[in-house]
Amino acid sequence: MPGKNNKTPDELPNVVEVELLTVDEVENYQGLTLKCVLVYLSILLACFAQVLAIVATGAFSRNMANVLGGHDKYIWVPQGLIICVTFTAAPIAQSSDFWGRRMPILICTALCIVGSVLISRASSMTMAIAGSLIVGVGSGSSSLTYAVASEIMPRQYRPVAQAGVNISNSISGIFTLLLGFGLVKKDDEGFRTVWYVGTGLFILNFLAILFLYNPPKRGLEVSLTWREKVKALDWIGYTLFSIGMIMFSVGLTWANNPYSWKSAQVLTTLIVGLVFIAFTVIWEIKKKDGFCHYGLFQTSRNFPLALVFIFVEGFAFYAANNFLPLVYSVYFDRDIFKVGVLMSLIFIAGSIASIVGGIYSTRSKRVRPPLTLGMALFVAYFACMATLEPSQSNAIWGYTVLAGLGLGFGLVVAVTTGQISTPPGLIATTSGLILTSRSLGGSVALPVYTAILNSLLTEHLGNEISQRVLPLGLSAKELQEFINALANNDQKALATIPGITPDIISAGVVGLRSAYRIAFRGTWSTAAAVSAVGLILALFVKDPRNSFNMHVDAPVEHEIAQTLNTKEIGQGLGAENNDTGDLGKTTPRRD
């Protein structure tokens, strides 16, 4: 009977391993059906809604602070979401191997609805941060959207499938930026409308998954009891990693905001976080079949390299998403709608690169060239931004295109590389670790960039402004008040300063931009250095040409899937009966 078995506890792990590590190369593609198309479209809708949440938390957190107060806390809106995604992606992905993909996606989407409502109705920054945390937990299911988009398509078409996902992400980014900046330009309260729209999209996504995505039950979903499924999860690994990531991210975020790097609060939190992360590594090596399953690293070197590329992409994306608007508004124009248009270029160029990279990889069965190009474009973008001058108002538009192209090539092909280089049964775990790596890149990047920016501004802002305005007659006694008003663009406060003149304000603006130029150079140089590591490692990727075939790992049609599952389970159990001690025989593919 389904859900019942006569396995002893000692046999259970082998049955799980056989199911997860069995590789079938039979070309079972039956053509593109209406049901497959509808499921894929529902996945694209999920991606659209989740990207809206990610972009909105980063792009409009300062507007939220203007309305709700708590300017010293606004960074926790995007950072809270990223931290939650980082430690929930892996357990959500692994649980979907035992309970199926549909239920975790529905539960997480419901959490996103609740969190979006909280943010849209927030009456304080604390309430907004709480909503962001809930959305972050729900967005941990993003890995499943990447997994489902790939596993319902033939392996050869995975680059195209992931390109479609990235195009949906890009369209969502453009939509969110133009809608949001258009709204907050009139009134900072416009951030609420963005989240009202987000709530509606998550509700629509919930209904689409509920009615359109009803896949056949997976082998382990049927063969294991509820107790066996719970036991198979890596609870110790989840706990160690969660504590480590939360403490590490909080420590980074506190650095220079509000505590110094050498303070007890920052050092203690960082050290505790690093210790727990080290414990996680030791535990995962010892356990082998935890959320960092050993099978992921046995096929080839591509999967660990893919994790690095995704980390670099996350590190790069959050630099642009959170700091490019600030650069444009400080250097050139405070028209925030223009900022939205500038940011949209990233997603437009990313869509084009996704299509080109996806088609190229599908036809050539190669991943190294587009990956290398993507990393090279990131290095070029950050190098250009590090040398950007406040007088180069046109150059920033061209530079932004480089960022979008790097994003399109890098993300699509890196995800494909990771997924196609690991056993099909571990595709959810693969996708979960990929999302964890991307979120980790973002959660590390944001506080690092912020700390560098704040540190350099603290060092140079006063000097750059004072040497320009004091000779013009501004009293030294009024200098700090002038700097604060200028940095916050507080026109009313500026007007009340004794002896203020238009020439003094103009000179102060020049000094402000000069100080920011020095500070931004530090953040962009850091991003360029990290991207350069990704570029070097891209040269070591091995093209997994043999894995680009017409096999579908998880067909959405019940008849096809049931036949496939029966065959695979039968083969797997046969292998287990022949030699339960050598599971390597069930994974013949080597890329």
Dist. CA 134–CA 556, nearest whole Å: 30
Domain 32-234+289-459+514-547 class, CATH top level: mainly alpha
Task: Say how many Å lie between the first and final Cα of the chain, rounded.
Answer: 38
Dist. CA 586–CA 433, nearest whole Å: 23
Percent of the chain with pLDDT over 90: 27
Tens-place pLDDT, residues 112-169? 999 999 999 999 999 999 999 999 999 988 888 888 988 888 888 888 898 899 899 8
Look at residue 576 in the predicted model and tell me its pLDDT. 40
* Bridge partner residues of 154 (DSSP): 552
Dist. CA 508–CA 464, nearest whole Å: 8
Dist. CA 294–CA 291, nearest whole Å: 9
Predicted TM-score (pTM) of this structure: 0.77
- The residue ranking higher by pLDDT, 531 or 451, is 531
Average pLDDT across the chain, whole number: 83
Tens-place pLDDT, residues 181-237? 889 888 889 999 999 999 999 999 999 999 988 888 877 888 888 888 888 888 999
Residues 6+ apart with CB under 8 A from 281: none
Q: Are 190 and 63 in contact (CB under 8 A)?
A: yes
Dist. CA 78–CA 244, nearest whole Å: 19
Look at residue 563 in the predicted model and tell me its pLDDT. 46
What value does the mean pLDDT take over residues 372-396? 91
Residue with tokens 């920016």: 453
- The residue ranking higher by pLDDT, 554 or 99, is 99
Tens-place pLDDT, residues 10-35? 444 466 776 676 666 666 677 778 88
For 144, 199, 371, 405, 570, the CA distances from 412, given in Å and listed in that order, are: 15, 27, 9, 11, 34
Q: State the number of CA atoms in the 13 A half-sphere of 134 facing the CB.
A: 19
Dist. CA 560–CA 564, nearest whole Å: 6
Dist. CA 576–CA 573, nearest whole Å: 5
Q: Which of 15, 5, 19 is nearest to 427 (CA)?
A: 19
Q: State the number of CA atoms in the 13 A half-sphere of 117 facing the CB.
A: 9
